[in-house]
């Protein structure tokens, strides 16, 4: 058990106790969907926390999630050229930019989701309606040329960050790996609920069985290793998914 304000900080949901206390007093913090308004309330480590008002450090919760991996893996985005797979609103991209990235190439199968702040940043190149499972280097080069950007950018990518839903990362990463330099650093959000077999998913879509989660993550690791990746480290995401699923980050490199 831990105080609510301390939990908000320790899980990187909010940056400090002062902001945590302010959010709690304003009634902006739900714990297991119950509004709690006392900073000292003790809550379980397994409680699901949701903010009614998002912290404004990043354009989405994705930035706060990546912050956990950034610390755990001692990442450095200084002057990096980053590929953001599943850019969505742009939380991962926002984090990378705020931590020194020179350029971010954001790819998403969707359209019209990227926050205006990210769209207007000259360091960001966005390719929407782009399926990362099948996109070719030539496809990306054509878009880069059309946007009057460096057409050789793929060859200069040093970091890959990824947050995708409703698909296994194993359906994307082996294809993307072939398009990028061998020395890329991959920071990948793994969502067990989208890696599990249908028979493993309970009603509501939330996986709480720790043995099952371990089994799923082990299967994902084996699949990645079979496709030339090396798992260097892993950690829990500091924020759970929208429905309360615990998510994980994998730090990957590729075999020489």
**What's the confidence (pLDDT) of residue 54?**
67
In this predicted structure, the answer to whether residue 234 has a pLDDT above a threshold of 70 is yes
Residue, of 218 and 20, whose pLDDT is higher: 218
Q: Are 61 and 53 in contact (CB under 8 A)?
A: no
Q: State the Cα–Cα distance between residues 185 and 250, nearest whole angstrom.
A: 11
Q: State the Cα–Cα distance between residues 48 and 32, nearest whole angstrom.
A: 5
Percent of the residues in the chain that have a pLDDT greater than 70, as a whole number = 98
Q: Taking the chain, what is the end-to-end CA distance rounded to the nearest angstrom?
A: 45
**What's the confidence (pLDDT) of residue 55?**
64
In this predicted structure, the answer to whether residue 150 has a pLDDT above a threshold of 80 is yes
Q: Which domains does the chain have, with CATH numbers?
A: 2-51 (3.10.290.10), 61-254 (3.40.50.150)
**What's the confidence (pLDDT) of residue 43?**
94
**What's the confidence (pLDDT) of residue 231?**
97
Residue found under tokens 């908000």: 8
How is residue 172 written in tokens? 């994307």
Percent of the residues in the chain that have a pLDDT greater than 90, as a whole number = 68
**What's the confidence (pLDDT) of residue 120?**
93
E-assigned strands of the chain?
Answer: 2-3, 29-31, 34-35, 42-43, 49-51, 81-85, 103-107, 124-127, 159-162, 185-190, 229-236, 248-254
Q: State the Cα–Cα distance between residues 188 and 190, nearest whole angstrom.
A: 6
């Amino acid at each position: 058990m831990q105080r609510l304000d301390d939990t908000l900080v320790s899980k990187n949901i909010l940056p400090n106790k002062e902001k945590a206390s302010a959010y709690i007093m304003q009634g902006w913090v739900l714990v297991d969907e119950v509004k709690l308004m006392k900073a000292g309330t003790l809550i379980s480590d397994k409680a699901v926390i949701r903010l009614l008002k998002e912290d404004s450090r990043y354009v989405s919760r994705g930035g706060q999630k990546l912050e956990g991996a950034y610390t755990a893996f001692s990442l450095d985005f200084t002057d990096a050229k980053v590929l953001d797979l599943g850019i969505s609103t742009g939380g991962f991209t926002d984090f990378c930019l705020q931590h020194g990235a020179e350029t971010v190439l954001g790819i998403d199968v969707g359209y019209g989701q990227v926050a205006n702040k990210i769209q207007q940043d000259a360091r960001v190149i966005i390719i929407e309606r782009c399926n990362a499972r099948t996109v070719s280097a030539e496809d990306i080069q054509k878009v880069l040329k059309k946007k009057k950007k460096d057409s050789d950018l793929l060859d200069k990518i040093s970091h890959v960050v990824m947050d995708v839903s409703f698909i296994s990362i194993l359906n994307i990463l082996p294809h993307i790996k072939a398009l990028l330099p061998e020395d890329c650093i991959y920071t990948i959000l793994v969502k067990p609920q989208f890696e599990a077999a249908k028979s493993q998913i309970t009603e509501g879509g939330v996986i709480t069985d720790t043995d099952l989660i371990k089994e799923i993550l082990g299967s994902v690791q084996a699949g990645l290793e079979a496709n030339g990746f090396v798992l260097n480290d892993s950690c829990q995401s500091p924020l759970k998914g929208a429905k309360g699923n615990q998510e994980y980050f994998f730090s990957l490199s590729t075999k020489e």
